[in-house]
Amino acid sequence: MLDRTRIEELRHAAVPPALHVIDGERRPASDGGVLEVISPLDGRAFTTMARGTQQDADAAIAAARRAFDEGGWRDMAPAARKKILLKWADLIAGNALELAVLGVRDNGTEIGMALKAEPLSAAGTIRYYAEALDKLSGEIAPTDPGVLGLVHREPVGVVGAIVPWNFPLMIGAWKFAPALAAGNTVVLKPAETASLTLVRLAELALEAGLPPGVFNVVTGPGPVVGAAIGLSMEVDVLVFTGSGATGRRLLEYAARSNLKRVYLELGGKSPNIVFADTPDLAQAVKVSANGIFRNSGQVCVAGSRLLVERSIHDRFVEALAGQVQVMTVGDPLDPATGAGAVNSLAQLDRNLGFVEEARALGREVRIGGKRILEETGGYYMAPTIVTGVAPSDRLARDEVFGPVLAVIPFDTEEEAVAIANGTDYGLAAAVWTRDLSRAHRMVRAIRAGVVHVNTYGGADLTVPLGGVKQSGNGHDKSLHAFDKYLDLKTAWIKL
């Protein structure tokens, strides 16, 4: 049960300016510059953060390089490294409500989701990789008896991480936790509209005993700080979650610098496919609504395309609209809220632009399609269902990243597969059917990194998340995440 009194105290608490955390110190921007932090709850500034410069990014990278090369973290006994990471996780969990409310004020996620998906998820992720780090081992090759072939796993070095605004702690931890557990050092750049919790996390890291330079956070504009990380000759691996345009730019930066490895998660246009033989239609309606409208649709794997078999299309859409009508949209710090704020005014305008374009094409806005609660000064949008969408429409092909659902009817399994695969993305998907054979066929046929069956979302840390096509490369989560942060080295020893 959430403590409403404590939430209200934290809602109104003064938030000190967020400073960089570089080489174990809290530092302002080298030129003293700051950016206002605007809350999507009411459109007002409530603190500032350091506006990072090239010099700040370079200082963080230099600190990470020195910390790695000196070997204090890299060569620390695995049990000792684990102990520090577990203490860090405990500190995060102990400050979970403070972190969750701070994050909600910064990015607008509803508090019920934010608490679980942000600090508690980050703490769990750090614990998972901390417990796994001393299970990593090398190999002995089955070669000639006169030779000893050894395969060592070694940390890659300095990892640059650039993370988005929708779930900064969760997605950030997916990247820095395995990187740190493997013995690397990290320079992390949060999104400009969701930096506060990651700065606080870095402060807790120092309290837990992470050595100076091992985990650095630099806030500020992507074209400055992000570019500095991408172009650095001292960053060995770059990991990123965000837009395709930025992902392409980071690949160019890698080519222009040291050919650093770049791993990208670039979002999706995930199909949620409902067949007429769905085992529980009411459950499919409820889960489908949450799959697109929780966190105002600002979820990488959101089921933003609903493909419904034509024979149940009208009935399903009617039930879905009814589900949306009872969803509470509003103050994210009210535990009763089902969907919170859109992250920024720019994102809200983008969402509404997609709806207006659909209207201009003659598509029906079945429900929603407008800004709401404007009197609060915040950025809120009514959950929106658009029917009659053609697979070729931009609404069916491009990621909105907002509470906008495109509904498309289909007649056959083959048609559903063709529509599902008919975008540049391939991150997630779902299939609702009681036919086990069909479920397996669909899992095999759909090009996506994760395919849910008779559910949407909920895949935990034990399984990988990654995309195909223009949804990116590489995997977060699970033990497979270590692959990005470890090099293989062969020792070939003549006996």
pLDDT (tens, 9 = 90+) of the chain, 495 residues, equals 799 999 999 999 999 999 999 999 999 999 999 999 999 999 999 999 999 999 999 999 999 999 999 999 999 999 999 999 999 999 999 999 999 999 999 999 999 999 999 999 999 999 999 999 999 999 999 999 999 999 999 999 999 999 999 999 999 999 999 999 999 999 999 999 999 999 999 999 999 999 999 999 999 999 999 999 999 999 999 999 999 999 999 999 999 999 999 999 998 999 999 999 999 999 999 999 999 999 999 999 999 999 999 999 999 999 999 999 999 999 999 999 999 999 999 999 999 999 999 999 999 999 999 999 999 999 999 999 999 999 999 999 999 999 999 999 999 999 999 999 999 999 999 999 999 999 999 999 999 999 999 999 989 999 999 999 999 999 999 999 999 999 999 999 999
* pLDDT attached to residue 373: 98
356 and 369 fall within a common domain: yes
93 in a structural domain: yes
441 and 327 fall within a common domain: yes
Q: What is the pTM of this model?
A: 0.97
Question: Looking at the 3D structure of the chain, how many domains does it have?
Answer: 2
253 and 123 fall within a common domain: yes
248 and 373 fall within a common domain: no
251 and 310 fall within a common domain: no
How many helices and strands (H and E) does the chain possess? 16, 21
Cβ contact 102:200 at 8 Å: yes
Helix (H, G, I), strand (E, B) or coil at 407: strand
* pLDDT attached to residue 352: 98
* pLDDT attached to residue 1: 76
* pLDDT attached to residue 34: 98
283 in a structural domain: yes
243 and 322 fall within a common domain: no
262 and 281 fall within a common domain: no
DSSP 459-495: --TTS-B--SGGGBSS-BSSGGGGGGTEEEEEEEEE-
190 and 334 fall within a common domain: no
422 and 388 fall within a common domain: yes
465 in a structural domain: no
Cβ contact 157:179 at 8 Å: no
134 in a structural domain: yes
Annotation says 364 is catalytic: no
Determine the structural domain holding residue 292 and report its residue range.
271-460
40 in a structural domain: yes
311 and 255 fall within a common domain: no
Closest CA to 215 of 207, 230, 225, 205: 205
CATH of the domain at 65: 3.40.605.10
CA dist 478 and 484 (Å) reads: 12
414 in a structural domain: yes
466 in a structural domain: no
CATH of the domain at 317: 3.40.309.10
219 in a structural domain: yes
136 and 184 fall within a common domain: yes
Active-site pick, 265, 309, 399, 413 = 265
332 and 209 fall within a common domain: no
* DSSP-assigned beta bridge partners for residue 428: 450
